[in-house]
Structure 1
Amino acid sequence: MRHGQYRYIVGTLALITTAVGLVACSKQSANQQISYRQTVEATLDKGMDNQPEAPYWFPKQLLKWQLSKDKAAKYNTASVPLAKRIDKWQLPTVNKTQDPKMKVVALSIMNSSTSGNAPRGINTFDANVFSNWQYIDQLVYWGGSAGEGLIVPPTADVIDSAHKNGVPVLGTVFFPQVVSGGKLKWLNDFLKQDADGHFPMADKLVAVAKAYGFDGWFINQETDPEVKSFDSASTGKTATSSTSNGLSKKHAQLMQQLIKEYKQKAGSKLDLMWYDSMTKDGKMDWQNALTKENQSYLVDANMKPVADSMFLNFWWTKKRLASQELLKKSHERAEKLGISPYNLFAGIDVQADGTATPVRWNLFANKQHVPYTSLGLYAPDWTHASSDTVDEFQAKEGALWVNDQNDPSRSIPSTTSTHWPGVSTYAVEQSAITKQPFVTNFSLGNGYNYFIKGKNVSLRDWNNRSLQAVNPTYRWLINNGNGNALKASFDYTDAYEGGNDIKLAGKMRKDTASTIKLYTTDLDVTADTQVSLTAKASGKSTAKLVVTLKDGRTKTIAGDRTLSKHWTTVSYDVSQLTKKTIKGLSLKISAAETDASYSVQLGRLAITGKQQAAPKKVNQVTIDNRTFDEEGKYAGVNLSWQATTKNKLDHYEIYQVNNNGSRSFLGATNTTNFYLNALKRNGQHNETNLMVVPVDIWNQRGDASDQVTLKWPDNRKPKAAFTVNRTLAAPGNTIKFTNASSKNATSYKWEFDGATKTTSTAKNPTVTYRKAGTYNVTLTAKNKDGQRHVTMKKLITITPKAQGALTLLSKNAKTSASGYTNSSEAPKMAVDGKLDTKWCATGKAPHTLTLDLGRQTTVSAVKLAHAKAGGEGADMNTRAWTIQVSTDGKRYTDVARTYNNTQATSLNTFAATSARYVRLVVDKPTQVADTAVRIYEVDVLGLTQTLK
């Protein structure tokens, strides 16, 4: 979702000078003017090798996990406690069908893969910055796969953003169907008991949730070797085979016992939600309702509680089941069992079709539009995954969660199965704004730029959902005065702090007010309470504060100044409200002149006590570890520091200190560590100085920390490297050499023994050879600082036997491997000549695939087809591997090594050698941290006969 219209550059100034209480080094005072050098856009946006990674486990791995040995724990721990929400029964409703009894859970793919996720983002814009927290009661961080891991805690940034809004977050325990690589062994490992009959896994689930700061687990158990097709089951067809290796009643009993033990140890602080899949008898039989077959996961035979809630499968709305009124019956059964019907979540799968998903809403609610159960949405991240632009994403978010009019007061129940009414039709807007301070900059948690006090200090893309602010409760409620037509949106082209603001735009008539209702609150006003708004408008305007009090009355309070085209902070005198409770916040906007293209931008809203002294400087800034790219031009740096003693701290900012004393913004975080990805080296400088600045809730910046120095490797001399399209050729064949030397090389010298032209200074030369034989190739790469060379001995073999294309030696060769997921992804699939089949193996790398060519041959090249060639995502392409050959299948020799492939197909050429066996050893299976290897085809090329 990257589009140039969101890139905002402040003129052509290299330096931006401002007095914002920041200093260029620790010796300066916080009151001195400082200069920013605008940070340039990053040219590398993939996580480097030392990027902290959010964890994921197979059961046996989690059973070995210990917090004391978890070196990455500090990066993966949430920093925001769960905020207390206003009691739902005290909340106002904005349409006739909103019901405080009903709850909403979102099973959302907050990151696109299970593995490779940075705990608090990196220097990329694209992230699922879901912000309609007001409509959900729980978020399930959906993840897990047979190729990566099954037990997945939420990332720290998702926990932080949810907790600010009072939303608990659950991790996922996912046992996939066999067709997706599921293994019953994993379930057995999960349900393992110790000698005393206890479940070690229950202890680990509790320990992980407490350590990382999230709120429980969602268990989705769908592994059963007998069940062949979820899709067939959805249509009512028989979905089992005749094998006797499936689930048993024992599995179901053990699962229920484990859940009980977990709940006993977790208490009320950690939840557990069960997915309607495995029945009490251990059958994979989705009920789509609360029935006698699955109720034992909520209450046992003695009516004692088991799990806290259940997510009902999606098929209750299908035509074949409609006459059974499954949700109505679930409501009735729940009441008989003493369970709240609203601890049942009627599942709707919106992953494929979003708001076009057909739903029989008359089965969800009765004729009075009262829901029978709560609502469960699977993959509402459809709004993000299906969008090409940020505008499309926000439009889909509005349609899904609010309605197609972006006004919750206009939500009405759908009378057809083809119209999506919006979640706001049934769900009350919730709020966790219950105490001071309340400060928001309306950030969504990402940006194409970063702004500080209205100045664009960085062009680096970024995402860090831990920095997402609490955004308006209502999207949107605007009462436009006669002739006015303001509409609201999130705007990434400008901001006061962070990466975006809220923009109200449209026609405005002179002195005619439009009022936007922003927040539901429960804030007690004290004698020290201060309220301010930072905003700007396209023309002279006023922004009055409208507060709703506990008794229902409203007070309109004028600001102490008017808005202009520049960011202006307006203060409001709320002393008259001392000892009163504010239940709602609105803004009343008026323009001094009629304007058909009027706009006002909201940058910051703050309700705080009296301003205190700026925070003290940060101490003990440390580089925990760092890594560099092969050329020493980019670094990945993990920083940590000691927390400042200031208890009203908002966040920390990380800077590079430039030679002239200016500073370049590198990122911000709400915790005491930061991963700096792809820091670019400044020319040939051998050192980069970094510092950290604390920022409090009043937007005051404290003194900068002492600087910490990153030392770069010496990369002045260029590295020589090359590839060649063919090493085994006939006399007269053209051979192409491709230069792969480091980018700082300025000239080259090639030496080709035995070629028709034995030297070249071209970057990528082509040569021919007249005589048969084997020949060396040397490349020297040069620049002003020196030179380095590489010689490949006996690289080129010239023989009349190599006329024309090389022979494919590996088609349908005998294969073996270190492992594979199932028979449909077996080793032989990598040599069947098809790009719709693959060899796939899971577990810890390295993974090996061995080909027996059947006899001694001459081998000189191996071509691989990776994940993207087979239609998967480019992130799944194999990154690093070694090719080995052997004549006897026992002693292998390395002939080729690839370190950093990104392409869908690859070609390794090497000196022609005799071999019967070829082995592929994959040590980095993907571009991310997914440990599953995916090879769609292996082509071994050469000659069928050996060469003397």
Structure 2
Amino acid sequence: MKRNKVHKFALKWTALVLTSVLLSQTLSPSVYAGDTLPYEGESAKGPNQPYQHGYASSHILDWTPTQDVYGDMLRARVPLQQRNSSFAATQAHPALSPDTQMFTLSGDYGNAFFDSYSYTNKFSQYLFNYWQYTDYYGYWHGMPTAHVPEELYDPQKDWTEKWFEFGILNIPNPGYTNAAHKNGVLSIACIFFSDNDRGPQTYKQMLVQDAQGGFPVAKKLIEMAKYYGYDGYFINQEEASKGVATEDIPRYKQFMKYLRDQGMYVQWYDSTINETGKIAYQNEFNAVNSPFVKDKQYGQVSDSIFLNYWWDKAKLKSSRDHAKQLGLNPLKTVFAGIEGGNGDFGRWKQKYDLRLNIGDNGQPMNSIATLGADFTHNALDEEFGGQDTNRRADNAYQWMTFIRDRVWWSGPNQNPVHAQRNASADLSDVKASGANWDGIAAYIAERSVIRGSHFNTSFNTGHGLQYVVNGVVSNPKEWSNINIQDILVTWQWWLDTQGKPLSVDYDYGPNYTKGTRFTYQPVGAYQGGSSLVVNGELDSDNFLRLYKTDLSVNKNSNLSITYNKPSSDDSSVLSIRLIFKDIPDKVVKVSVPNSGKQTTGWVSRSIDLSAYQGKTIAAFGLSFDNANKTIKNYQMNIGQIKITDGSVLKPAAPTGFKITKALTDTNEMIVAWDLKDYSKVKQYNLYENGSYIGGIYDSTYYIKSLNHKSGELTLTAIGADGTESEPARLDYDLNAAVSHINVETKGNGEATIMWKNPSEADGTVKLTLTTDYTDTAFHKTITADSGAETATFTDLPTNGDSYTLRIAIGNHTPVAYTGHLADTTIEPYAKENVTVTGSTYTLALPTSKDWHYLYVYENDVPKQFGVTYVSKKFPYIVRGRTKLSELTFTPTSRTSSLKIVIKDYAGNKATTYVR
């Protein structure tokens, strides 16, 4: 997306994907954020940890599920949940139209190049907590394409020195898709073409057509979305130097229309291609860009447009009117763009004001889109010391992110009811400003998926400094896993009181740095990683609204609450407050007995709701009452709330539980099981010797580090009301398996395997080698005598494929080892990829998965090629960084010799003679 140059001292940390060429206007400094640096120590990537990659435009056509690296481990499986119908009476702003939509284009776990995981053991990973204000979540950062060697990335080098290929397609992190779907939010992939950021990749490679006029790449994109479980595409066409050829514009529209007609949600960015095919940002919805949403010839070709940022009130009014003239609903079609953190170095003085989007009726005229809302986390480094800090990866500073997030979403008062700019808001400790920013909650009505007759929450935000089960620490290590994030509190924080308001926070336990503004005693979670905590001076009743719901009550309905009150005995009363749909202006208050007494841990209380049968709970919250006495240092932690009527059956124990890879030398393991329908099971929990490992709704899980070489793995299924099944059990003993595996591959197709036997090795050794992530898998098994500690494979491929080697002694469970075969082969550059027009030569990009450099020799002298971002030239074309324009050249002589030498990542070369 179009953006300006950044502050010079921040360049080292500026993300390649969040920086684009200065095109036509000089504006205030744009959002920037540093790379998410690789984690270190125990949180460093596991040797076999699944991570995402980008997709080059030329390779999407060849995509298959079986050949996509880690594709089997990175699928989102939670189906999109239905949202409740709007109910104005329980909105923070009852007069605010619920029809205004929100498109959030942001990072997921950060701007990581080789470190985008679905879950890992790092608390400081950024987690999104505001799904209730979002209708579409798109994923904005770039990742290297598959097979790019990680050693090409030096995180200490300048952002212009990333000499590897980024994909034009960034698909959603599966953990984020699962969390989005759980909250009724569509998960949107990002397609991004840019001269600098994506080098020689071009839209033309995406718009190829078959003999019948179809779009095979579009078909692949639909296939990918269905396999990985996401919902559509945000298309950002910003190739500035050449733009889009005018003859290709109709094809581009047909391409998008095909995606949309097949059920994909498609949003077009306002990098509008005008009649000349060049980029022409409109900053409004008008006759120039509206054909990329609704075309006279093709009809509706996309669902909506993300307007570029330089609008004003007149442009937004005109945008609304133009949409209506086309028979389109502007609240479904037109999204006014805001760049998160845009403005001065204080990051909050937004240049463009969403109040300008308010019409004469007091309602937004168009919907809203933001880019980079994760700057609240990513910009911690720049705002607190510049390039030599890494606060966003430091657990001690995460409290700053949480507050900055609330300022962005709930407003500077951190209360959505008062979501408006406030110059006096005390935000200096987190370097946020409320003087020029209303919270998103001022314009977007909160949404909810809480429906039916049951609901449960443990206020688990999806990461923690320990994992707790029923109030007892089950795993003392830090973790991050948005897959198991609860549906979070609807309002952060809607607190009504006539006196001094209590403070509210998520409490992550004794290892959490909470910041000086909070004074509570850290208690931590009852279940998961966090609990809800309120504390302070209780001088009047405080009503904390928690959830917007549509929950039916019947004769069996019950509410249970688990709480921990570490403060002294007092006269306070904790109450449940219920708002029913038929009388929303009346709040029903149900007291929790003896809730003023100090507890020595977690206490659960059950409240019978049968007196309200036939009613519908439209919202509920908690009341903290002082009983007309001022109470100093009051604290109450809420660990869990459940509403249920007993109609949900306890899930059966999981079936098919098995080890698929036991990587004994690295303490890693991959397990699998049978996946049950989401209507019956919402999550699976995995334990090792009783200690919690992780959870997910999927049929497989990667264990980064086993704590014991032997023991018992257990797997449980979690029902819709939080009920946990009986466990499926799986014994394992890696002490009885081979270890210290070493593989020496040779270019002649041989591989010598060496290992160390356990103390009691008895039986024939069976070794099986299978290549991974290829459509033509190679499989070979050999045996060695009992007691042997070496064996040799012969006649193996020499193409560098990844493989899994399994070694088993007798009837023992096989252990696994992964690596890459020797690579001595290379596919020559195809002569037909050279197009000759008169005396001009144009080179198409190679299609082989591992090519790295392309040398062009004229009379054995290498030609020089320019690259993106910097003025350097190299005697070769470098994958991902050579300019597209450089692929067209004119030889110095008509009679000179021309040859092309291709070199792959392994150093293999092949020569093609052109003339």
Structure 2 length-normalised TM: 0.66
Secondary structure, aligned partner of 2:551: strand
Q: Tell me the residue number matched to 1:163.
A: 181
Q: Tell me the residue number matched to 2:612.
A: 577
Question: Post-superposition shift, 1:125?
Answer: 1.4
Q: Are residue 516 (structure 1) and residue 544 (structure 2) matched?
A: yes
* CA-to-aligned-CA distance 1:484-505 (integer Å, 9 cap, x gap): 5311111111001100111111
Do the aligned residues in 1 keep the contact of 2:502 with 2:537 (CA within 8 Å)?
Answer: yes
Q: Tell me the residue number matched to 1:694.
A: 717
Question: Post-superposition shift, 1:219?
Answer: 0.8
AA matched with 1:640: A
> Partners of 2:271 and 2:236 in 1: how far apart?
7
Q: Tell me the residue number matched to 1:937.
A: none
Q: Tell me the residue number matched to 1:57.
A: 55
Q: Are residue 299 (structure 1) and residue 298 (structure 2) matched?
A: no
The structure 2 residue matched to 1:288, chosen from 283, 287, 292, is 283
Do the aligned residues in 1 keep the contact of 2:125 with 2:480 (CA within 8 Å)?
Answer: yes
User: Equivalences for 1:499-514 in 2 at 5 Å?
Assistant: 499-509=529-539, 512-514=540-542
Do the aligned residues in 2 keep the contact of 1:611 with 1:698 (CA within 8 Å)?
Answer: no
- Gaps spanning 5+ residues in structure 2: where? 1-38, 145-164, 381-390, 392-396, 424-432, 510-523, 743-827, 830-845, 858-868, 873-901, 908-915
Question: Post-superposition shift, 1:72?
Answer: 4.4
Do the aligned residues in 2 keep the contact of 1:97 with 1:426 (CA within 8 Å)?
Answer: no
Distance 1:305 1:42, change over 3 A: closer
User: Equivalences for 1:256-295 in 2 at 5 Å?
Assistant: 256-266=253-263, 270-281=264-275, 282-295=277-290
> Partners of 1:127 and 1:293 in 2: how far apart?
41
Distance 1:138 1:556, change over 3 A: same
Q: Tell me the residue number matched to 1:599.
A: 635
**Identity across the alignment (%):** 25
User: Equivalences for 1:410-421 in 2 at 5 Å?
Assistant: 410-412=418-420, 419-421=436-438
AA matched with 1:537: K
> Partners of 1:455 and 1:517 in 2: how far apart?
28
The structure 2 residue matched to 1:377, chosen from 354, 370, 373, is 370
* CA-to-aligned-CA distance 1:561-590 (integer Å, 9 cap, x gap): 636342111211111111111111021123
* CA-to-aligned-CA distance 1:513-563 (integer Å, 9 cap, x gap): 321111111111122222111111124453221111113233222335636
Q: Are residue 526 (structure 1) and residue 554 (structure 2) matched?
A: yes
Q: Tell me the residue number matched to 2:318.
A: 329
Distance 1:923 1:702, change over 3 A: farther
User: Equivalences for 1:644-793 in 2 at 5 Å?
Assistant: 648-657=680-689, 663-680=690-707, 682=708, 687=710, 689-697=712-720, 699-709=722-732, 711=734
Distance 1:91 1:110, change over 3 A: farther
Secondary structure, aligned partner of 2:401: helix
Question: Post-superposition shift, 1:400?
Answer: 0.6
Secondary structure, aligned partner of 1:409: helix
Do the aligned residues in 1 keep the contact of 2:309 with 2:339 (CA within 8 Å)?
Answer: yes
Kindly tell me the number of residue pairs found equivalent between the two proteins.
Answer: 662
> Partners of 2:713 and 2:852 in 1: how far apart?
39
Do the aligned residues in 2 keep the contact of 1:47 with 1:678 (CA within 8 Å)?
Answer: no
> Partners of 1:253 and 1:604 in 2: how far apart?
55
Distance 1:87 1:614, change over 3 A: closer
Question: Post-superposition shift, 1:698?
Answer: 5.2
Distance 1:586 1:691, change over 3 A: closer
Do the aligned residues in 1 keep the contact of 2:563 with 2:637 (CA within 8 Å)?
Answer: yes
Structure 1 length-normalised TM: 0.64
Do the aligned residues in 2 keep the contact of 1:276 with 1:287 (CA within 8 Å)?
Answer: yes
> Partners of 1:251 and 1:607 in 2: how far apart?
56
* CA-to-aligned-CA distance 1:185-213 (integer Å, 9 cap, x gap): x3111001110101112222222222222
AA matched with 1:410: H
Distance 1:619 1:348, change over 3 A: same
Q: Are residue 639 (structure 1) and residue 671 (structure 2) matched?
A: yes
The structure 1 residue matched to 2:492, chosen from 457, 471, 475, is 475
Q: Tell me the residue number matched to 2:99.
A: 101
Question: Post-superposition shift, 1:277?
Answer: 0.8
Secondary structure, aligned partner of 2:487: coil
Question: Post-superposition shift, 1:700?
Answer: 4.5
The structure 1 residue matched to 2:455, chosen from 395, 419, 438, is 438
Do the aligned residues in 2 keep the contact of 1:616 with 1:645 (CA within 8 Å)?
Answer: no
The structure 2 residue matched to 1:253, chosen from 244, 250, 260, is 250
Do the aligned residues in 1 keep the contact of 2:167 with 2:198 (CA within 8 Å)?
Answer: no
AA matched with 2:214: H
Question: Post-superposition shift, 1:699?
Answer: 4.8
* CA-to-aligned-CA distance 1:120-139 (integer Å, 9 cap, x gap): 21112122211111112211
* CA-to-aligned-CA distance 1:217-276 (integer Å, 9 cap, x gap): 1111112434xxxxxxxxxxxxxxxxxxx521122211101111222222xxx3111111
Q: Tell me the residue number matched to 2:580.
A: 549
Distance 1:100 1:153, change over 3 A: same
> Partners of 2:66 and 2:854 in 1: how far apart?
37
Secondary structure, aligned partner of 2:42: coil
Do the aligned residues in 1 keep the contact of 2:311 with 2:352 (CA within 8 Å)?
Answer: no
Q: Are residue 454 (structure 1) and residue 487 (structure 2) matched?
A: no
Do the aligned residues in 2 keep the contact of 1:42 with 1:461 (CA within 8 Å)?
Answer: no
Q: Are residue 365 (structure 1) and residue 373 (structure 2) matched?
A: no
* CA-to-aligned-CA distance 1:584-626 (integer Å, 9 cap, x gap): 1021123577532111111111112217675433333222224
Q: Tell me the residue number matched to 2:108.
A: 110
* CA-to-aligned-CA distance 1:59-79 (integer Å, 9 cap, x gap): 332222234666844432223
User: Equivalences for 1:903-918 in 2 at 5 Å?
Assistant: none
> Partners of 2:127 and 2:646 in 1: how far apart?
32
> Partners of 2:741 and 2:453 in 1: how far apart?
58
Q: Tell me the residue number matched to 1:535.
A: 563
> Partners of 1:126 and 1:718 in 2: how far apart?
34
Question: Post-superposition shift, 1:449?
Answer: 0.5
Do the aligned residues in 2 keep the contact of 1:44 with 1:678 (CA within 8 Å)?
Answer: no
> Partners of 1:43 and 1:708 in 2: how far apart?
29
> Partners of 2:128 and 2:456 in 1: how far apart?
19
Secondary structure, aligned partner of 2:673: strand
Question: Post-superposition shift, 1:312?
Answer: 0.5
Q: Tell me the residue number matched to 1:492.
A: 508
AA matched with 2:527: E
RMSD: 3.8
> Partners of 1:667 and 1:627 in 2: how far apart?
18
> Partners of 1:73 and 1:182 in 2: how far apart?
25
Question: Post-superposition shift, 1:116?
Answer: 3.5
Secondary structure, aligned partner of 1:430: coil
User: Equivalences for 1:117-136 in 2 at 5 Å?
Assistant: 117=115, 120-136=118-134
Q: Tell me the residue number matched to 1:396.
A: 404
Do the aligned residues in 2 keep the contact of 1:133 with 1:165 (CA within 8 Å)?
Answer: yes
Q: Are residue 608 (structure 1) and residue 644 (structure 2) matched?
A: yes
- Gaps spanning 5+ residues in structure 1: where? 1-40, 227-245, 658-662, 720-817, 820-840, 853-866, 871-918, 925-948
Do the aligned residues in 2 keep the contact of 1:448 with 1:460 (CA within 8 Å)?
Answer: yes
> Partners of 2:228 and 2:681 in 1: how far apart?
21
Question: Post-superposition shift, 1:114?
Answer: 6.4
Which shows bigger deviation, 468-477 or 199-208?
Answer: 199-208
* CA-to-aligned-CA distance 1:464-502 (integer Å, 9 cap, x gap): 1111111111111112354x5311111111001100111
* CA-to-aligned-CA distance 1:668-700 (integer Å, 9 cap, x gap): 2233321111335x5xx5x45433233445554
* CA-to-aligned-CA distance 1:296-318 (integer Å, 9 cap, x gap): 1111115821211000111225x
The structure 1 residue matched to 2:235, chosen from 182, 205, 219, is 219
Which shows bigger deviation, 138-147 or 570-579?
Answer: 138-147
Distance 1:361 1:652, change over 3 A: closer
AA matched with 1:346: A
- In our comparison, the structure showing a higher alpha carbon Rg is 1
Q: Are residue 148 (structure 1) and residue 163 (structure 2) matched?
A: no
> Partners of 1:63 and 1:922 in 2: how far apart?
22
Distance 1:616 1:844, change over 3 A: same
Do the aligned residues in 2 keep the contact of 1:252 with 1:278 (CA within 8 Å)?
Answer: no
